[in-house]
Amino acid sequence: MGLFGQKWVSNVRLDGKTAIITGCNTGIGKFNVLDFYKRGCRVIMACRDLVKAETAKSDIEKEVIGQDNLGTIVVEKLDLASLSSVRQFAEQILKQEQKIDYLINNAGVMACPKAITEDGYEMQFATNHLGHFLLTILLLPRIIQSAPARIVNLSSAAHMAGNINFDDLNLETNYSPISAYGRSKLANILFTKELAKRLGDRQVKVYAVHPGVVKTDLGRHMDSVVFSGFQRIYRTFFGFFMKTVEDGSRTQIYCALDEKAGQETGLYYSDCKVKEPWAKATDMETAKKLWDVSWEMVKLGDFDPFKPDSKIAWER
């Protein structure tokens, strides 16, 4: 029994399985890659910076050198802040991968200064929600075809600080880096719930995960948001209570692999247990509206991800 309770462990093998993990050149995403790779999985590292991703891949391979029954690691370019990059990545994956057993939507930015993407959308909402929304929808026919399969969306307890104003999605009237982050994490949970509802009894399970407060560089913008030196002071006084990368990744891996979790879908998890999110994260009317608005924002048109013969724009 550790500081964060009983640790979940599993010896399940993933030989013959394929996983896509976004934003995994560092932090909990990188540990996810290591864990899946050790289980024999084919792991696709979907990262914005290919140099850093290749370095991370090399680090992982060196860490387990000499071990048997390892999987394979493939690095691919994916910038979730660019809808064009998401489409290019999805097109490449659908050409080269016959199956997708796991999609771990891990990438994200946190509390960054206000910025607008090349597509004209607020950076945190675009990266943390819209990019993953588009990616998931484009890959969904292949994921359904690969069932049983699982999709894990990295959310956060910070969703409690978020609100979605559909009349001001770019936060032009009032931008708060922390509130914008909370909004994107709220969107992750609402997307999880709506996707699970639409999937119905198909054997594709969807999860939203709060990893805890983890010792990573995700909060690198906090010094500019709060005050210079905030991160150093926070880690000095509260570092003992922060999770290691391994502990922070555990709930994602639990949702992807655990047998009991495999009987659940559309729920929110923390410390490898189902937790009740903030009430606004359970509003299915808002979840449906977010789906519809996101669909228009990423320009999916009449594509139907639930029909295996539905044609994506580039296939028409």
Torsion of CA 173, 292, 90, 196, to 10 degrees: 120
Contacts of 316 (CB under 8 A, 6+ apart): none
Please give the Cα distance from 209 to 206 (Å, whole number). 10
**Catalytic residue from among 181, 207, 268, 269:** 181
Which pLDDT belongs to residue 246? 92
Name the CATH superfamily for 18-213+245-301. NAD(P)-binding Rossmann-like Domain (3.40.50.720)
Model confidence over 214-243: pLDDT tens digits?
665 544 444 445 545 444 543 444 444 567
Q: What is the mean pLDDT of the chain?
A: 91
Please give the Cα distance from 154 to 46 (Å, whole number). 15
Per-residue tokens: 24: 């995994």
Angle of helix 177-199 versus helix 131-145 axis, rounded to 10: 20
Asked if the model's pLDDT at residue 28 lies above 70, the reply is: yes
Strand partners, 214: 243
Dihedral sign of CA atoms 40, 44, 48, 53 in order: positive
Per-residue tokens: 16: 């013959």
Cα 249 versus chain centre, distance: 12
Cα 207 versus chain centre, distance: 10
Which pLDDT belongs to residue 304? 96
Which pLDDT belongs to residue 203? 98
Between 228 and 45, whose confidence is greater?
Answer: 45
Residue tagged 């990262």 (tokens): 47
Which pLDDT belongs to residue 124? 98
Residue 3: which pLDDT band, with cuts at 50, 70 and 90? very low
Cα angle 4, 162, 215; round to 5: 35
Task: Please check whether residue 196 is in contact with residue 265, taking contact to mean a CB–CB distance below 8 angstroms.
Answer: yes
Q: Exposed e or buried b for every residue in 151-171, given b needs 16+ CB within 10 A?
A: bbbbbbbbbebbebeeeebeb
Asked if the model's pLDDT at residue 5 lies above 80, the reply is: no
Which pLDDT belongs to residue 217? 54
Asked if the model's pLDDT at residue 315 lies above 70, the reply is: no
Which pLDDT belongs to residue 223? 40
Rounded percentage of the chain residues whose pLDDT exceeds 70:
88
Q: Per-residue pLDDT averaged across 16-43, rounded?
A: 98
Please give the Cα distance from 80 to 35 (Å, whole number). 23
Which pLDDT belongs to residue 90? 98
Per-residue tokens: 256: 């992807």
Which pLDDT belongs to residue 128? 98
Q: Name the pTM for this structure.
A: 0.91
Domain borders along the chain are 18-213+245-301
Q: Per-residue pLDDT averaged across 87-108, rounded?
A: 98
Asked if the model's pLDDT at residue 132 lies above 80, the reply is: yes
Residue 111: which pLDDT band, with cuts at 50, 70 and 90? confident
Model confidence over 137-184: pLDDT tens digits?
999 999 999 999 999 999 999 999 999 999 999 999 999 999 999 999
Catalytic annotation present for 181: yes
